[in-house]
Amino acid sequence: MKIKTSASRKVFMTFNFLILTMLSLMCVLPFLNVLAISFSDKIPVTEHRVAFWPVGFNTAAYSFILSQPAFMRALVVSVQRTLLGVAVNLILIILTAYPLSKSREEFRARGFFSWFYVITILFSPGLIPAYLVVYYTKLMNTVWALVLPGALPVFSMLVVMNYIRGLPKELEEAAYIDGANHVQTLWRVILPLCAPTLATVTLFSFVGHWNSWYDGMMYMSVVDKYPLQTYLRTVIINPESFFRNVTNVSTNIAVYLGLVNARTTSAAQLFLAMIPIMLVYPFLQKYFTTGLVLGSVKG
Amino acid sequence: MSQKRRDRLLRELPLYVMIVPSFVLVLIYSYGAMIGVTIAFQKFSPAKGLFGSAFIGFNNFINLFSMPNIWTVVRNTIVISLWKMGGGIIVPVVFALLLNEVRQNFVKRGFQTLVYLPNFLSWIVLAGVFMDILSPSSGIVNRVLSALGAAPIFFLGDKFWFPITMVVTEIWKGFGFGSVIYLAGLTGIDPTLYEASEIDGANRWKQTLHVTLPGITSLIVLMTVLSMGNILNGGFDQIYNMYSAAVYETGDILDTFVYRLGIESAQFALATAAGLFKSVISFIFVVASYYLADRIAGYRIY
């Protein structure tokens, strides 16, 4: 399409560009400010001289945090729950989406199972009953409390199910005629074709597990078992408490304390928690977008 | 016939085996919890458990609704979520329309990369960032305000500013990614419509009004309808991490109220009753929203 560039169009485009630039800056400047603080010396930070560029650049806040067992323990719990959680989510999504993608003739219980899962999206019984089930099934203070209650992400499962239903029927029929059973059909025919949608739901799960904090707070009674985000909550609510709980006496705390304070170390911890998300961010943009459109606009 | 039947069952058997693990887990953790709502009608004690506690009818609800602050909490929830719903539709639509005017693809992508970012970060990280930048004494926002000659604003500690801050930061987090769906809708508009309108003498503004907007109206309606289900979701993740007793009057929502009542004060039955009240109303709204989405836009979740 050819676009005429009239004078008014040029004025509009200039303003448009300015507005979009402002909105984009609004989305990143808060992070740049906190990032700059995390790399700054504590003196300019307390004197409010840090804006979007570090003043008195140093990495002491980061080396200090990484020397603290409290942070490392939480990191380990988070990595565990994310790996385990994503694996469980993905396996159950595949194993549920495939049978449900069948027609009523091929899988007569489809109607029952569909409603069984969909009802859980429509009605959520609330926090206390969910808590009590975890309590009575003896999962308190175990990593399974962070994995099993949400073992099947129903929305993701529906996205995958719809994707499988959209694949040409002939493929499955050909496999059936060749004598393949359901397991072989799923493994050899369906799964390879589902790669893009599986990438999407894997990312959904990854972000979900990494960012989740509330289950850690509910189901873990000791801070030592908190995943990273839950632990971070204790830091941001009361930044000074972190310094009272400094435990690793072998590090030269005096050296660090000359360079860091509660604000720079909080900022550093926020950034460390963002790193995994930043690493998958290029993929998120690509796959989340297709996934969202897949799941939302269809006839 | 019976041979055929057995063959069919044999053919279906693996499908049942596949679905069993998720069936069992959902049965325990989702349906188990649904059964658990019965404690809203009990004089529940954890020691006696679900089956040993005495039923007391609607007493918990009567107690709940005679609590002095419950209606404030309900009002806060609805006010905050309505503002979030409104802003959550308008801002992404406007952003998508503006971005759609940019013709250079790399510029477009650049803007998108920047504005999608907050959407993927947890409210813990974002709360940490906001508590720092919005701090009345040391935050950069108030430093800018004071440089402009304004008095410092206690965004998170002031009854007036707190809900506004919640609405703005929620929209800030989601508008970029929320625009994705409208951008997808915009690329689907038939280009010949623009050519035809140009021949008819329409300028860009007229085209926006008469071609572009009608092209995504059904999407806007769909997203509005779907967001209705969130009427009682004020945003627990966000508010719980940023509020304080000083702003309960305008910032306490049903979910935070239930959490404090249940987990912090161990009033299980009362908190379950409050949660059930929310769940039932939400259920009605969610079902209505899906029904309308199906009728209006042909949207079905499965």
State percent of chain A over pLDDT 90.
43
CB A37 within 8 A of CB A267: yes
Would you place residue B237 in the very low, low, confident or very high pLDDT band (cuts 50, 70, 90)? very high
Interface contact A2, partner B, CB < 8 A: no
Asked if the model's pLDDT at residue A206 lies above 70, the reply is yes
CB B145 within 8 A of CB B152: yes
The pLDDT assigned to B36 comes to 87
The pLDDT assigned to B297 comes to 73
- Whether residue A289 and residue B23 make contact (CB cut-off 8 A), yes or no, is no
Residues B233, B236: Cα–Cα separation, whole Å:
7
Q: ipTM score here? A: 0.88
Would you place residue A208 in the very low, low, confident or very high pLDDT band (cuts 50, 70, 90)? very high
Helix (H, G, I), strand (E, B) or coil at A272: helix
- Whether residue A102 and residue B15 make contact (CB cut-off 8 A), yes or no, is yes
Q: Cβ contacts (< 8 Å) between B128 and chain A: which residues? A: 34, 232, 235-236, 266-267, 269-270
- Whether residue A33 and residue B133 make contact (CB cut-off 8 A), yes or no, is yes
CATH of A69-219, one of 1.10.260.40, 2.160.10.10, 1.10.3720.10, 1.10.20.140: 1.10.3720.10
A residues 145-204 near B, CB within 8 Å? 148-152, 155, 157-158, 161-162, 181-183, 186
The whole-chain average pLDDT of chain B stands at 88
Asked if the model's pLDDT at residue A67 lies above 90, the reply is no
- Chain centroid to CA B25: how far? 25
> Given phi > 0 = left and psi -120 to 50 = alpha, else beta, which region is A86?
alpha
Q: Cβ contacts (< 8 Å) between B180 and chain A: which residues? A: 288-289, 292-293
Instruction: Determine the average pLDDT of the residues in A273-283.
Output: 90
- Chain centroid to CA A205: how far? 6
Q: Which residue has the tokens 């939302």?
A: A296
The pLDDT assigned to A295 comes to 46
Nearest Cβ partner of B117 from A27, A51, A127? Answer: A27
Six-digit token string for A68: 């603290």
The pLDDT assigned to A297 comes to 38
Would you place residue B295 in the very low, low, confident or very high pLDDT band (cuts 50, 70, 90)? confident
At A7-34, the pLDDT tens digits run 888 888 889 999 999 999 999 999 999 9
The pLDDT assigned to A298 comes to 37
Q: Cβ contacts (< 8 Å) between A118 and chain B: which residues? A: 301-302
Asked if the model's pLDDT at residue B14 lies above 80, the reply is yes
Task: Give the dihedral sign, CA A177/A180/A186/A189.
Answer: negative
A residues 200-239 near B, CB within 8 Å? 207, 210-214, 218, 229-230, 232-233, 235-237
Which of A128, A210, A261 to mutate: most B Cβ within 10 Å?
Answer: A128
CA distances from A289 to A223, A281, B116, B177 (A): 36, 12, 10, 8
Asked if the model's pLDDT at residue B50 lies above 60, the reply is yes
Nearest Cβ partner of B22 from A21, A95, A292? Answer: A95
Nearest residue to A197 (alpha-carbon basis) of A269, A100, A292? A292
Residues A185, A217: Cα–Cα separation, whole Å:
42
Q: What residue segments make up the domains of chain A, in order of their start?
A: 7-67+246-296, 69-219
Nearest CA in chain A to B264: A218
Nearest Cβ partner of A289 from B110, B122, B180? Answer: B180
- Whether residue B124 and residue A229 make contact (CB cut-off 8 A), yes or no, is yes
Nearest Cβ partner of B124 from A21, A28, A232? Answer: A232
Domains of chain B, CATH where assigned: 2-57 (no CATH), 65-297 (1.10.3720.10)
Give the type of residue at B54.
A
Residues B266, B75: Cα–Cα separation, whole Å:
24
- Among the residue ranges A242-246, B119-123, B171-175, B182-186, the one predicted with the least confidence is A242-246
Residues A170, B260: Cα–Cα separation, whole Å:
55
A residues 240-269 near B, CB within 8 Å? 263, 266-267, 269
Interface contact A292, partner B, CB < 8 A: yes
The β-bridge partners of B226 are: none
CB under 8 Å to B103, separation ≥6 — which residues? Answer: A3
Residues A273, A78: Cα–Cα separation, whole Å:
10
Would you place residue A105 in the very low, low, confident or very high pLDDT band (cuts 50, 70, 90)? confident
At B110-151, the pLDDT tens digits run 999 899 999 999 999 999 999 989 988 888 898 889 889 888
At A107-162, the pLDDT tens digits run 888 999 999 999 998 888 888 899 989 998 999 999 999 999 999 999 899 989 98
The pLDDT assigned to A291 comes to 57
String of DSSP letters for A140-209: TTSGGGGTSTTSS-HHHHHHHHHHHHHS-HHHHHHHHHTT--HHHIIIIIIHHHTHHHHHHHHHHHHHHH
Query: How many contacts does A have with B, using Cβ atoms within 8 A?
Result: 265
Interface contact A99, partner B, CB < 8 A: yes
Six-digit token string for A233: 């909550």
- Measured in angstroms, the CA of A253 and the nearest CA of chain B are apart by 24
Six-digit token string for B229: 């289900």
Interface contact A17, partner B, CB < 8 A: yes
CB B137 within 8 A of CB B228: no
Q: Which helix (H) or strand (E) holds A213?
A: none
Instruction: Determine the average pLDDT of the residues in B155-168.
Output: 94
* Residue A252 or residue B113, greater confidence: B113
Q: Cβ contacts (< 8 Å) between B102 and chain A: which residues? A: 16-17, 20
Asked if the model's pLDDT at residue B218 lies above 90, the reply is no
Q: Print the SS3 string covering chain B.
A: CHHHHHHHHHHHHHHHHHHHHHHHHHHHHHHHHHHHHHHHHEECCCCCHHHHCEECCCHHHHHHHCCCCHHHHHHHHHHHHHHHHHHHHHHHHHHHHHHHCCCCHHHHHHHHHHHHHHHHCCHHHHHHHHHHHCCCCCCHHHHHHHHCCCCCCCCCCCCCHHHHHHHHHHHHHHHHHHCHHHHHHHHCCCHHHHHHHHHCCCCHHHHHHHHHHHHHHHHHHHHHHHHHHHCCCCCHHHHHHHCCHHHHHHHCCHHHHHHHHHHHCCCHHHHHHHHHHHHHHHHHHHHHHHHHHHHHHCCCCC
The pLDDT assigned to A296 comes to 44
- The predicted model scores a pTM of 0.89
Q: Cβ contacts (< 8 Å) between B287 and chain A: which residues? A: 122
The β-bridge partners of B55 are: B42
Q: Cβ contacts (< 8 Å) between B50 and chain A: which residues? A: 132
Residues A115, A110: Cα–Cα separation, whole Å:
9
Nearest residue to B18 (alpha-carbon basis) of A216, A131, A108, A95? A95
